[in-house]
């Protein structure tokens, strides 16, 4: 059974309220909310095991006991029989872009594109018959469960259950998934690590469904029961503040330094929480509450338009709420600043596909991931831009599809930089307002990247180390590697993610069970130097370098001062790092300037 997908297009009413039901007599039925059967179609011989709408609500996919996989129109007319097999097909799914299907064939998973003359991708996924599978649109990951109780994904394989894994489902945001078996249901993170499990006495879990906001789920059991569950104990940390959702409507917040704590009760169920930049934003099903961490008992409140909030992003001067079908930028006073129209299915975007800066918003185009849209936000003005004008939008074209974007959090808007990780895991850093800049690979095999909130420091994760880039512009001098700091770390896990960079500390979400690790980058002085430079405090920066006598500091100072035309400082800094060719070049430039541009041939 599946509800008709709700696609919120601008200015259009929600789609038809229809329910798609498959039955064991080989038919599927289209039923409206009043219970009247609109259409019944004989689809398969034997049981019709799968009947689902396409994500774009354009078609129906069915799979049956007869081994056939068929595509139908929304009216129940057969379009094509994609697969005819002698083996029953227990599971079939649409691809997130509705252009292909994924189906099971005993131990194999097969991706079949619906376009003509398209390749078929087939691989051996399990040792036993595959009973359940799920494909997330946000992270584009496929997980599957078999009769041996194994749950597998391309990057992990876990023997979760003693009994067959009868159901599996991704959360809408793609950061969690639920697997069901006989008398057991377990919650996992996206890297497969189990976070919690429930032992039941209701038989096998045949099907699991998430709510659109990803906070609740429903499961159908073999004995006829339907269980409802919601997520709790979500914990968020920022500096010395910690908040935990202890129940559906209650959040416990605590200041570790002052040991001050409080419990905040909300009128409705809490859907999303965000903590950072001195604020805590809480979204319920109806309203949004913005608390200042200095006085959390007096929040700013405003009503939400949809209520199915999938994500909240915080920045220095504004916050962004991602709802179903829309994206809104608010100030911390609750005033709507912008509502950029990026596209449909906003709820299918992952956290890595959207980045919020102090005055800029970046998003990967969902239809064409090679394009990245960067919007200028009127955070300093009093006007509300509801329709984004062309002058406020910058379109960045990348060679291949991008997976993750990150905007720098400091500096003026003209120097705003964006870090892009593409599907090859190559890292590029581009200045948004510099169209002539040619993207150059900064590093390869990067798993995660994040900008510091206090300086222009960029931190990235590789498999075995943490890399910090103090200067990210095109490095034409590969021998000058002093602006890059590499910190070896062997216990990061196979799928780590940086949560924040604060005061020289990197908060990393590991993939090995331990949720968070804090690593001291040992580059506090580098950040300090960057802050001095950002504030044009060159004397202080020079004094810092002379005091510490650190080559990394001299290297950063050298590059940045040269970029900002501080030739004297640059000369001294390049001397300290023994880059004499640069020293001579700087001296030549200084001489040219001193002579008014008149250079004799002998010189």
Partner 1 sequence: MSYRDLRNFIEDMRVLGCPQQVSMESFRGPNWPLLESCVRWLAARVDPDAALGGSADTLEGRVALVSHALELFVPFEVPASTRLPASDRPAYQSELTALERELEALWDRYVLRYRCVEALKQQLSVLERAHSEQDMKKKNVRILIYSVLQNHRHLSDYANVLLLCDPIAPNDRGRCVVVVRSWCGRGVVVASAQAAAEQQAAVMQLIHKYEAEDVLGKLSATDDEDSSEASSSSGQSGGSGGGGAAAGGGGTARTQATHAAAHQHGRGAPRRAFGSMAARDSLDDVRPDSGSDSPRDLGRRVRAAGGRPGTRTLAGADDYADFGEGNDAIRDVGLDSESSSDSELQRAAALTDDEF
The residue among 164 and 555 lying less far from partner 1, judged by its C-beta, is 164
The residue among 26 and 172 lying less far from partner 1, judged by its C-beta, is 26
204 binds partner 1 per the rule CB under 8 A: yes
Which pair of tokens denotes residue 112? 């079949």
The residue among 48 and 176 lying less far from partner 1, judged by its C-beta, is 48
CB 57 within 8 A of CB 17: no
CA atoms within 13 A on the CB side of 245: 23
CB of 164 to partner 1, least distance (A): 8
The residue among 46 and 369 lying less far from partner 1, judged by its C-beta, is 46
Q: For helices 580-594 and 567-576, what crossing angle results, to 10°?
A: 160
Task: Pick from 1, 19, 47, 487 the residue near partner 1 by CB under 8 A.
Answer: 47
Helix/strand/coil for 496: coil
The residue among 109 and 131 lying less far from partner 1, judged by its C-beta, is 131
1 binds partner 1 per the rule CB under 8 A: no
The residue among 59 and 88 lying less far from partner 1, judged by its C-beta, is 88
CB 190 within 8 A of CB 199: no
Q: Judged by CB under 8 A, which stretch of 123-131, 374-382, 469-477, 584-592 contacts partner 1?
A: 123-131
90 binds partner 1 per the rule CB under 8 A: yes
147 binds partner 1 per the rule CB under 8 A: yes
Tokens 């590969």 belong to which residue? 478
DSSP string, 146-186: ETTSEEEETTEEEE--SS---EEEE-TTSSEEEEEEEEEEE
CB of 203 to partner 1, least distance (A): 6
Site string for partner 1, 149-188 (x = CB under 8 A): --------------xx-----------------x------
Q: Judged by CB under 8 A, which stretch of 128-136, 243-251, 452-460, 522-530 contacts partner 1?
A: 128-136
CB of 146 to partner 1, least distance (A): 10
24 binds partner 1 per the rule CB under 8 A: yes
The residue among 91 and 111 lying less far from partner 1, judged by its C-beta, is 91
Cα gap 296→290, rounded to integer Å: 9
Task: Pick from 5, 6, 7, 46 the residue near partner 1 by CB under 8 A.
Answer: 46
Contacts (Cβ under 8 Å, ≥6 apart) of 70: 43, 44, 61, 62, 63, 78, 79, 80, 81, 82
133 binds partner 1 per the rule CB under 8 A: no
Cα gap 520→466, rounded to integer Å: 10
Cα gap 234→255, rounded to integer Å: 17
Tokens 């992990």 belong to which residue? 156
CB of 67 to partner 1, least distance (A): 11
The residue among 204 and 379 lying less far from partner 1, judged by its C-beta, is 204
CB of 132 to partner 1, least distance (A): 12
Query: How many residues bind to partner 1 according to rule CB under 8 A?
Result: 18
Tokens 């590991």 belong to which residue? 510
Contacts (Cβ under 8 Å, ≥6 apart) of 288: 281, 282, 301, 302, 303, 304, 309, 321, 330, 334
CB 196 within 8 A of CB 187: yes
Q: Judged by CB under 8 A, which stretch of 42-50, 233-241, 327-335, 436-444 contacts partner 1?
A: 42-50
301 binds partner 1 per the rule CB under 8 A: no
411 binds partner 1 per the rule CB under 8 A: no
128 binds partner 1 per the rule CB under 8 A: yes
Instruction: List helix spans (H) across 288-415.
Output: none
353: phi then psi, degrees, rounded to nearest 5: -90, -10
Cα gap 162→182, rounded to integer Å: 8
CB 420 within 8 A of CB 377: no
129 binds partner 1 per the rule CB under 8 A: yes
226 binds partner 1 per the rule CB under 8 A: no
DSSP string, 189-214: ETTS-EEEEEEEEEEEEEEEEE-TTS
534 binds partner 1 per the rule CB under 8 A: no
Task: Pick from 77, 78, 218, 222 the residue near partner 1 by CB under 8 A.
Answer: 222
CB of 22 to partner 1, least distance (A): 11
Task: Please work out, in degrees rounded to the nearest 5, the angle formed at the alpha carbon of residue 526 by the alpha carbons of 524 and 531.
Answer: 95
Q: Judged by CB under 8 A, which stretch of 45-53, 291-299, 352-360, 589-597 contacts partner 1?
A: 45-53
Q: Which residues bind partner 1 (CB under 8 A)?
A: 24, 46-47, 49, 65, 88, 90, 106, 128-129, 131, 147, 163-164, 182, 203-204, 222
């Amino acid at each position: 059974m599946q509800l008709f997908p709700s696609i919120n297009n601008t200015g259009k009413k929600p789609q038809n309220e229809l329910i798609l039901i498959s039955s064991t007599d080989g038919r599927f039925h289209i039923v409206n909310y009043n219970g009247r059967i609109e259409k019944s179609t004989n689809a398969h011989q034997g049981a019709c095991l799968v009947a689902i709408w396409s994500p774009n609500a354009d078609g129906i996919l069915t799979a049956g006991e007869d081994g056939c996989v068929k595509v139908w129109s929304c009216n129940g007319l057969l379009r094509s029989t994609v697969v005819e097999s002698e083996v029953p097909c227990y599971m079939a799914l649409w691809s997130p872009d509705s252009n292909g299907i994924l189906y099971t064939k005993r131990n194999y998973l097969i991706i079949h594109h619906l376009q003509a003359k398209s390749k078929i991708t087939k691989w051996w996924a399990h040792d036993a018959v595959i009973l359940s599978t799920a494909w997330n649109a946000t992270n584009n990951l496929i997980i599957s469960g078999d009769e041996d109780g194994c749950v597998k994904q391309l990057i992990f394989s876990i023997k979760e259950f003693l009994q067959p894994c009868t159901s599996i489902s991704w959360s809408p945001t793609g950061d969690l998934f639920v697997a069901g078996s006989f008398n057991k249901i377990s919650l996992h993170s996206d890297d497969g690590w189990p976070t919690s499990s429930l032992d039941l006495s209701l038989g096998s879990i045949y099907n699991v469904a998430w709510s659109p906001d990803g906070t609740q789920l429903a499961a159908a059991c073999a004995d006829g029961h339907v269980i409802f569950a919601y997520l709790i104990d979500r914990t968020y940390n920022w500096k010395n503040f910690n908040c935990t959702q202890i129940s559906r409507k209650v959040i416990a917040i605590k200041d570790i330094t002052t040991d001050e704590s409080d419990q905040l009760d909300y009128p409705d169920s809490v859907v999303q929480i965000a903590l950072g930049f001195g604020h805590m934003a809480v979204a319920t099903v109806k309203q949004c509450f913005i608390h200042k961490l200095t006085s959390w008992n007096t929040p700013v409140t405003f009503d939400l338009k949809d209520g199915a909030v999938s994500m909240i992003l915080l920045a220095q001067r504004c916050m962004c709420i991602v709802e179903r079908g829309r994206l809104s930028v608010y100030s911390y006073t609750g005033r709507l600043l912008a509502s950029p129209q990026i596209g449909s299915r906003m709820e299918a975007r992952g956290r890595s596909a959207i980045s919020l800066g102090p005055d800029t918003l970046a998003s990967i185009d969902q239809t064409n991931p090679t394009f990245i849209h960067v919007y200028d936000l009127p955070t300093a003005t009093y006007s509300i831009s509801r329709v984004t004008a062309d002058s406020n939008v910058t379109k960045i074209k990348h060679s291949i599809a991008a997976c993750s974007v990150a905007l720098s959090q400091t500096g003026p808007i003209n120097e705003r930089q964006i870090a892009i990780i593409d599907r090859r895991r190559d890292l590029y850093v581009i200045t948004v307002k510099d169209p002539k800049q040619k993207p150059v690979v900064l590093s390869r095999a990067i798993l995660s990247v994040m900008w510091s909130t206090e300086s222009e420091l960029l931190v990235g994760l590789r498999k075995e180390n943490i890399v910090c880039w103090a200067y990210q512009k095109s490095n034409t001098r590969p021998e000058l590697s002093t602006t890059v700091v590499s910190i070896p770390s062997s216990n990061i896990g196979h799928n780590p993610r940086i949560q924040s960079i604060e005061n020289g500390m990197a908060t990393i979400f590991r993939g090995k069970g331990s949720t968070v690790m804090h690593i001291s980058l040992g580059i506090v002085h580098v950040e300090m130097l960057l802050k001095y430079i950002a504030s044009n405090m060159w004397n202080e920066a020079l004094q810092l370098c002379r005091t510490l006598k650190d080559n990394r500091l001299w290297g950063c100072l050298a590059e940045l001062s040269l970029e900002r035309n501080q030739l004297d400082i640059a000369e001294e800094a390049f001397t300290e790092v023994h880059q004499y060719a640069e020293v001579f070049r700087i001296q030549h430039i200084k001489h040219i300037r001193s002579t008014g541009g008149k250079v004799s041939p002998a010189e």
